[in-house]
Amino acid sequence: MQVWAVANQKGGVGKTTTAVSLAGELSNLGKSVLLIDLDPHGSMSAYFKLDPDSHEPSIYHLFQTPAYAVNEIIVDTGIDKVKLLPSSTAVATLDRQLGTQAGKGLVIKNALTSYEDQFDYCLIDCAPLLGILMVNALAAADKLLVPVQTEFLAIKGLERMLHTLNMILKARAEPLEYLIIPTMFDRRTRAAIQSLRQLRETYHETIWDNIIPVDTQFREASRQGKPISHVAASSRGAKAYVQLLNRLLNGKSEPSLMASGH
Residues binding Mg ion (CB under 5 A) = 15-16, 43
Question: Which of 172/208 has CB closer to ligand ADP?
Answer: 208
Of the candidate spans 137-145, 190-198, 208-216, 247-255, the one that interacts with ligand ADP by CB under 6 A turns out to be 208-216
Shortest Å, Cβ 124 to Mg ion: 11
* Residue 218 binding ligand ADP, by CB under 6 A: yes
Question: Which of 3/6 has CB closer to Mg ion?
Answer: 6
Helix (H) or strand (E) holding 6: strand 2-6
Shortest Å, Cβ 150 to ligand ADP: 10
Question: Which of 141/212 has CB closer to ligand ADP?
Answer: 212
Instruction: Tell me the number of residues near ligand ADP by CB under 6 A.
Output: 17
Q: With contact defined as beta carbons under 8 Å apart, do 228 and 221 qualify?
A: yes
**Mapping DSSP to helix (H, G, I), strand (E, B) and coil, where does residue 207 land?**
strand
Helix (H) or strand (E) holding 59: helix 59-64
DSSP structure string for 173-206:
SS-EEEEEEEESB-TT-HHHHHHHHHHHHHTTTT
Among residues 232, 209, 262, the alpha carbon closest in space to that of 25 is found at 232
What residue is closest to Mg ion based on CB? 16
Shortest Å, Cβ 141 to ligand ADP: 17
